[in-house]
Structure 1
Amino acid sequence: MKGLVTLFVIILIYSSSQAQKADWQVIVLGMAQDAGYPQAGCKKSCCEAYWTGENPKQHATCLALLNNQSKEAWLFEATPDIKAQWHALDTLGYQVAGIFLTHAHIGHYAGLIHLGREVMGTNNIPVYVMPKMKNFLEANGPWSQLVSLNNIALKELKNEEAIMLNGMAKVTPILVPHRDEYSETVGYHIAGPNQTILFIPDINKWETWNKNLASEISQVNYALLDAAFFADGELPGRDMSKIPHPFTTETMELLKGLPTKEKSKVHFIHFNHTNPALFDSPERNQVLKKGFNVVNEGMVIDL
């Protein structure tokens, strides 16, 4: 039952929201790192708090772009938690019209397996990918079977070239540096008629990007940014320089000079199970006191 709590919250929050919904919205269907929360094999207090009933399950990071006129939804990421995330959309009355992938790490594409003949056996679900990601899926099983059996239809994207959805929403991939063992990595600009989101769930340190983070934030209304780890030393016994994500503390330090309005655009996402800011804690309070925000499952953004 505990594993379903956040799913019910998503449905309750969205179903009871404003009677007149915006034509386009984004809903957060997950905020945890690839493996979700709790994580397999973790015997630390962070995950024990789930098994003892103290903390609820958190699904792997996923967004859904919703069109409230056509009742279509586009997933951003095909996570290992896709069953619950797809079911949430079904329950809310939306049909999945496509999936946008960021890269080939397990929390971001492994859920595609549920589209195959052993599970849903879908018919040509559009899956939007960059060139290397496309080649990876076409050349490696079991993913290649999804292509050959027409369970999915790969749609190749180009860096910083937008595609239009239903003539009103615009999605633009943006290359970011990351551990690109199998594919390149992108974030996305997601733009509706009135507002824009920057979604970067995975990136190496900000200084390795060829763009200025503050400048990118200034061009959007919301920035959902990688917060895998809170600070150095979070994984005792491991060299965290070999897991190159920006620490939450580093991002806040980098952006500390921004005006309050600009800071408030930042919503941290993609929390590792060890990141104490995943739940109510002094660390999360520190984020909020500094003027930044944390996403929650069920959070809805009007576009």
Structure 2
Amino acid sequence: MRLVFAAILLIGCAAAAGDAATDDTGACGVSLLVLGTAQDAGKPQLGHPEDPAWQDPSLARLATSIAVVDTRGKRLQRWLFDATPDVKLQLQRLDETYPTTDYVGLAGIFLTHAHMGHYTGLMHFGHEAARTDRLPVYAMPEMRRFLESNGPWGQLVDYENIAITTMADRMAVVLTEDLSVTPFLVPHRREYSETVGFIIEGPERSAIFLPDINSWRAFDEQGTRIESLIANAQIAFLDATFYGDELPNISAFPHPKILESMQRFDGLDAAEKSKVRFIHLNHSNPALLAGSAERRAISGRGFAVASEGERHCL
């Protein structure tokens, strides 16, 4: 295991600030694929029959998840980041983009925390569904205890559908000689487990995956500035649950608002801003709509919103 928070010099062009940035991945040995961009319950959500996404599937969005794929060896390897309620459809899309003959075809699943949109998809790997055999699941200590001590998740462990590996803060999980994943603790609601983001280091580039955090100020107080992580990566998928004050009593749901993030990051140069790709947008967030004024404002300030299906070389 090794620490990876030191400055990393990597060569590679940053993703453009447009909403559908996709690298030419044909020559990539290791790629990152975005499988979902919405908050835990996706879009549309239960209780909102007025949402036009019910009638127009093109407006629907899946819960936030990404995959990392290594195509270099004799056998393609795929890792999933968060097991969402939409995992069936997301793995089907992963199969369409990076097909494999292996059953389920996952080398492992990395979990950020125990909120519904980030782990409940594990049910589909259990006895009543895929019945996987010791599928590797990477979890922090509290997350592991939660899964092992509560049904139905404990059954996945007892029946050996999954095999949990415990991660440690800022200690790398080495997947191959030049591909690693490092969890880092972040402040977020801790009802059932701690919360982490991930630094994913590939052979040429690195990415940050941070779908949930209370605030950038709370992260500062914990001893890490988000700008330092952005500086040492080429792509940064950051929590953008809310745009501004679009919901009543929004302070009851602590997340950095997009408006606050853009104001904080305004001092970054254009190259740094272009790394930021907002993700984990609530169904109420107007920036989910590609043609919205809010989306144009984000692009106009040099940032972007992540899109399902976008790919990046690592």
- By the TM > 0.5 criterion, same fold? yes
Residue of structure 1 in register with 2:228 after alignment: 215
The CA deviation at 1:185 is 0.0
Asked if the contact 2:32–2:313 (Cα under 8 Å) also holds between the matched residues in 1, the reply is yes
CA–CA distance in structure 1, aligned partners of residues 31 and 184 of structure 2: 21
**Is 1:267 aligned with 2:272?**
no
1:96 aligned counterpart, secondary structure: coil
Identify if the C-alpha distance between structure 1 residues 273 and 19 changes in structure 2 by more than 3 Å, giving closer, same or farther. Answer: closer
Q: Summarize the alignment of residues 290-301 of structure 1 with structure 2, pairs less than 5 Å apart.
A: 290-301=301-312
In structure 2, the CA distance between the partners of 1:208 and 1:261, relative to structure 1 (3 Å rule), is: same
- What does 1:200-239 align with in structure 2 at a 5 Å threshold? 200-209=210-219, 210=222, 211-232=224-245, 234-236=246-248, 239=249
Residue from 17, 27, 37 that aligns with 1:21: 27
| Contact 1:38 1:57 (C-alpha < 8 Å) held by counterparts | yes
Q: Give the structure 2 partner of residue 175 of structure 1.
A: 185
User: Is structure 2 residue 66 aligned with structure 1 residue 63?
Assistant: yes
Secondary structure in structure 2 of the residue aligned to 1:224: strand
Q: Which aligned runs of 4 or more in structure 1 are off by greater than 3 angstroms?
A: 16-20
**Native 8 Å contact 1:21 1:68 kept in 2:** no
Mapped pair 1:74 → 2:79: yes
Question: What is the deviation of 1:167?
Answer: 2.0
Q: Deviations over 1:92-135 (max 9, x none)?
A: 31421100000000000000000001000000000000000000
Higher relative contact order structure (alpha carbons within 8 Å, sequence separation ≥ 6): 2
Structure 2: runs of 5+ lacking an equivalent: 1-19
Partners of 2:166 and 2:155 in 1: CA distance = 18
Equivalent residue pairs, number: 283
1:285 is matched with 296
What are the residue-to-residue correspondences of 1:98-247 with 2, within 5 Å?
Answer: 98-209=108-219, 210=222, 211-232=224-245, 234-236=246-248, 239-247=249-257
The question of 1:33 aligning with 2:39 is answered: yes
TM-score, normalised relative to structure 1: 0.90
Structure 2: which amino acid aligns with 1:88? R
- For the residue of structure 2 that corresponds to 1:60, the secondary structure is coil
The alpha-carbon deviation at position 19 of structure 1 amounts to: 7.5
d(CA) in 2 for partners of 1:26, 1:19: 9
Residue 56 (structure 2) aligned to one of 50, 53, 57: 53
CA deviation after TM superposition for structure 1 residue 215, in Å: 1.6
- The answer on whether the counterparts of 2:241 and 2:257 sit within 8 Å (CA) in structure 1 is yes
SS in structure 1 at match of 2:84: coil
Tell me, yes or no, if the aligned pair for 2:33 and 2:67 is still in contact at 8 Å.
yes
* Separation of aligned partners in 1, 2:185 and 2:303: 24
The residue type paired with residue 226 of structure 1 is D
Output the CA distance in 2 between the equivalents of 1:279 and 1:165: 36
SS in 1 for 2:59: coil
For residues 291 and 20 of structure 1, what CA distance do their matches in structure 2 show?
27
Cα displacement (A) at 1:52: 3.1
What CA deviation, in whole Å up to 9, does each residue of 1:17-74 have, x standing for no partner? 8574311010000000000111111144xxx211232743211000000011231110
Asked whether 1:89 is paired with 2:94, we answer: yes
Match for 2:231: what amino acid?
A: S
The 3-state SS of whatever aligns with 2:34 is strand
Q: Once the two structures are aligned, what percentage of the paired residues are identical?
A: 46
Distance in structure 1 (CA, Å) of the matches to 2:157 and 2:25: 40
Question: TM-score normalised to the size of structure 2?
Answer: 0.87
Q: Deviations over 1:179-215 (max 9, x none)?
A: 0100000000001011010110000011001211112
Task: Report the CA distance shift for 1:249/1:170 in structure 2 as closer, same or farther (over 3 A).
Answer: same
Query: What amino acid is aligned across from residue 69 of structure 2 in structure 1?
Result: L
Task: Write the distance in 1 (CA, Å) between the matches of 2:25 and 2:91.
Answer: 23
After TM superposition, the structure 1 stretch with the greater mean CA deviation from structure 2, 260-269 or 51-60, is: 51-60
CA contact (8 A) 1:26 1:64 kept: yes
Q: Alpha-carbon deviation of 1:89?
A: 2.2
The one-letter code sitting in structure 1 at the alignment partner of 2:206 is T
Is there any run of 5+ residues in structure 1 with no aligned partner, and where?
A: 1-12
**2:247 counterpart letter in structure 1:** L
